[in-house]
Amino acid sequence: MKSMRLTAWALLLSLLLSLLPVTALAEEIPDTVEAPMTQEDVARAAAEAAMTYGGAASVQYALWQDGKIVYTGHAGVYSKSENRALTDDILYGVGSISKTYTAAAMMKLVEQGRVNLDAPVTRYLPGFKMADERYKKITVRMLLNHSSGLMGASGDSAFLLDDGAYDATDRLLDRLAGQTLQAEPGAYSVYSNDSFSLAQLVIEAVSGMDYTAFLHKNITGPLGLKNTLTPADDFDRSRLAKGYLTPAETRPLPPETLAITGCGGIYATASDLAAFGGALCGDQLLRKSSRDAMAADEFLRGLWPADSSDSSVAFGLGWDSVHMFPFSQNGIQALVKGGDTIVYHAGLVVIPEHNMAAAVLSSGGASTYDQLAAAKMLVGALAAKGIAVTEAGSLDEAAPASMPARLTALSGYYASTMQAGKVDITADGVMKLDLIGVEQTFTYRADGSFRDEENTALLRIAEEDNGRIYLYQHAYGMVPNLTGAVSSEYVFQRLPEVETDPKVLSAWEEREGKVYVALNERYTSVMYPASGLFAAVSLEGSPEGYMMGSRLVDENTARSCTQIPGTGSRDSAVVAMKMVDGVEYMELNGGLYRDAASLPVASAAARSVCTIQADGYARWYSAGSAAGRTMTVTVPENGGFCVYDANMLLTAASYAYGDTTVTLPEGGYLVYAGAPGARFEIAMVSAEQAA
C-alpha cells in the first residue's frame, strides 16, 4: 500500500534529487552513539532513527531467532494526548505485509492439493471476467508475483476508519469486469494491490471460509500468534497505537481499518510479526518446497533489467525482494516485505539460512525506514554469531569516454505512471534529466552508463525485446544507524513522439488545472480527513499527446501506456471523461469524480437539509456566498461531513474528529457522505450572529 507522504526513498527511486534526500534527512540525526553497543542498543538506535526520519509518533520492534523472540522494544508515545504507556503488546497495522500472509495462506492450499499455482484464476473464480480476453491467461502464481497485468489498484473505500464490517473485496469482481489489462499476463512483474485482493477471493472460494477465519485456522492459530488480527475480529480497538495524518497533528484518528484484508488489512505486534517471519524459516508452517517457491526469483520470469543483483525490488511470491541489500552482497539471502497504510508502516526481514527474522512497526513514518531498521537489527544478530556484513555499497569506477553519436537520438520524454521528465543527451556525452523543474546532469562513461560527478548514481538507456526503451537507475546510499539503501531498476520508459488530433489536444488542454471531487467514497474513508478526494488534470511537463505516462486517445480518454517492471507502472489506469446533464465527470478505475467548478453553492439559509440519494454518492457544494458563516450540523449515525479551504485542505471533519460546528472558508468546499437516506440538518448563522 502507499503512504500519502513522499519519503526520501520514494524521491530516490523517482530520481527527483538522486541521493540528496537521504543525505539531508540523515543530517538531522548525527550518528553519535559510541561503540561498543549491545544487540539491543543497535536495535533501539535503529528503531529511533527510523521513527525520527519518518516523523513517526511511535515505533515497536522485535527480533526472532532460533524459535523464540530474543528481544522486543518500543519508542515514542502511544498517544500524543492520552496518558497511557506504550507497551510491546500494542497493535499496529502491518499494511502490505499482509500480502506475505496471503501468499503463505495460498501455499497452504497448494500443499493440500486444492490450488495449482499455474492454473488460471477462472478455475477458482468462475465469476471473474474482464473487458480484455487476456484475463483468462492470469494464473494464481501471477497474482502472487505481481505479473497478472492488472491495472493495479481499483478499490475505492479501501482505507477506512473504525469500519471493520465493510469489505471492499466484495465489489472487486464488479470493478474488474469493466477494466482492461495494462500488459499481457506474465509479461513482467509490477506491484499490484488488486492481484492480492483477487488472491484473497481465491482463498475464500476454495476454502469456503472468509479470509480472517482461514488465517486464524491455518496460520495464526497453529503458530500461537494471538496478537495477529484483522478488522473483522472482535477486539479492543484501544490496543491499536494512535494514528495521525501528519507528524504535526495532535488529534488522533479513529482506528484505521483496511477493507482489503488480504492485501493490507492485518494488525500485529512486532513480536507476532517477527514470529510469523520466523515460521517461514522452518517446517512449522509450510513445507520446504513451499518456502522455496515463495523465495524463488519470480521477478525473472518476465521482463527485468539485466543488472539487478542489488535491486530493492526483486519479487518472490508475496515478497518485495528475495535478495535484500546489503545481505545480497555478502552472499546471504534475505527476504523483505514492507507495508504502508495511511496511518501505519511496517518492515519485515527474514534470513532463512540463519533462522532469523526482524520486524519494525510504526505509527507514522515510512516502511522504507522500518525495513532498513529491521535489516540493521539482523546485521547485529549476525555479528553476534561472528558473521560480518558489509553494509555500504558503491558503484564501480568507470572512466569518462567518448559517447557514440547514436545515443543522442534517445533524447526525449520519459515517464512512469505518475511522472514525466525530459532527457537531453548531447554529442559531448552529457545527459541532462529534468523532472518537474529539477535538473540533474550525468556524463558518459566507458561502460556505457551516464554518472553524476560524485559517482553515486548511474543511469543507462536500454532497449528491451518488447521494443520499448527504458531509463535504468543504479544508486547506493547510507543512513546513519540504519543499513545501506539501493535502487537498481527501470524507472522510466521513453514516450514515442505521436501525432495527436488538434481537437483531442484542445479538449484536454481546456481541462488543464481542473479539479474533480470523488463521489463514491464511503463516508468512513480516511481519504476525507486526508484531503485525498481531489483529482486534477495536468499536462504540465508532459510531451504533446500525453498526460504523464498516459496517451491521450481521444477527446475523453487517456490510457496508461507505460510497461515498466518493478514499480514504474504500478497503479495504471484508463481515465474516461463524460458529460451528463451539462456536468463533466471523470471515471478512474471505478472511481467517479465530478468537476468541482460545477458544484452547487451551499445554502446560506438559516435552516437547510441535505439527504444522501439512492445512488449513495457524496454530495458536494462550494462555499459560495455562505463563506464566513458558521454552520452547525446534526450528523446522522450513518454519515459524516467535511469542510475544506480553497486549497482543498481540511478545515473540519465530523466522522474523523467529531467536528459539528465550523466557519466556512472563502472559496472552500463542503461534502456530505453517508448511506442512502442519511439526512443532515444544517443551521447557519452569519459572523455577526455567531459573535
Has residue 18 got a pLDDT over 70?
A: no
Percent of the chain with pLDDT over 70: 95
Q: Which of 2-16, 201-215, 354-368 has the lowest mean pLDDT?
A: 2-16
Mean pLDDT of all residues in 469-494? 93
Cell of 1: 500500500
Q: Which of 249-258, 264-273, 291-300, 531-540 has the lowest mean pLDDT?
A: 531-540
pTM of the model: 0.94
Distance CA 61, CA 73 (A): 5
Closest CA to 280 of 185, 193, 350: 350
Residue pair 420/408 in contact (Cβ under 8 Å)? The answer is no
Confidence at residue 478, expressed as pLDDT on a 0 to 100 scale: 84
Confidence at residue 436, expressed as pLDDT on a 0 to 100 scale: 77
DSSP 484-504: EEEEEEEEEEEPPP----HHH
Distance CA 92, CA 464 (A): 42
Confidence of residue 376 (pLDDT cuts 50, 70, 90): very high
Distance CA 599, CA 621 (A): 5
Confidence of residue 322 (pLDDT cuts 50, 70, 90): very high
pLDDT digits (tens, 9 = 90+) for 507-540: 999 999 999 999 999 999 999 999 999 999 999 8
Has residue 3 got a pLDDT over 70?
A: no
Has residue 354 got a pLDDT over 70?
A: yes
Has residue 369 got a pLDDT over 60?
A: yes
Amino acid type, 299: F
DSSP assigned state of 601: B
Confidence of residue 687 (pLDDT cuts 50, 70, 90): confident
pLDDT digits (tens, 9 = 90+) for 598-625: 999 999 999 999 999 999 999 999 999 9
Half-sphere exposure of 590 (CA within 13 A, CB side): 23
- Residue 358 region, left (φ>0) first, then alpha (ψ -120 to 50), else beta? beta
pLDDT digits (tens, 9 = 90+) for 443-461: 999 999 999 999 999 999 9
Confidence at residue 153, expressed as pLDDT on a 0 to 100 scale: 83
Mean pLDDT of all residues in 464-489? 92
The CA-based dihedral angle spanning residues 500, 440, 464, 180, taken in that order and rounded to the nearest 10 degrees: -50
DSSP 69-85: EEEEEEEE-S-SSS---
Has residue 408 got a pLDDT over 70?
A: yes
DSSP 287-327: -HHHHHHHTS-GGGGS---S--TT-S-B--SS-SBSS-TTG
Closest CA to 214 of 112, 335, 347, 294: 112
Strand duo 515-518 + 534-536: pairing:
antiparallel
pLDDT digits (tens, 9 = 90+) for 165-178: 999 999 999 999 99
The CA-based dihedral angle spanning residues 306, 309, 310, 314, taken in that order and rounded to the nearest 10 degrees: 80
Q: Which of 9-23, 171-185, 205-219, 570-584 has the lowest mean pLDDT?
A: 9-23
Confidence at residue 36, expressed as pLDDT on a 0 to 100 scale: 74
Distance CA 658, CA 633 (A): 11
Coil vs helix vs strand at 193:
helix
Distance CA 636, CA 678 (A): 6
Residue pair 569/182 in contact (Cβ under 8 Å)? The answer is yes
> 410: buried, middle or exposed (CB in 10 Å: 19+, 13-18, 0-12)?
middle
pLDDT digits (tens, 9 = 90+) for 115-160: 999 999 999 999 999 999 999 999 999 999 999 999 988 767 999 9
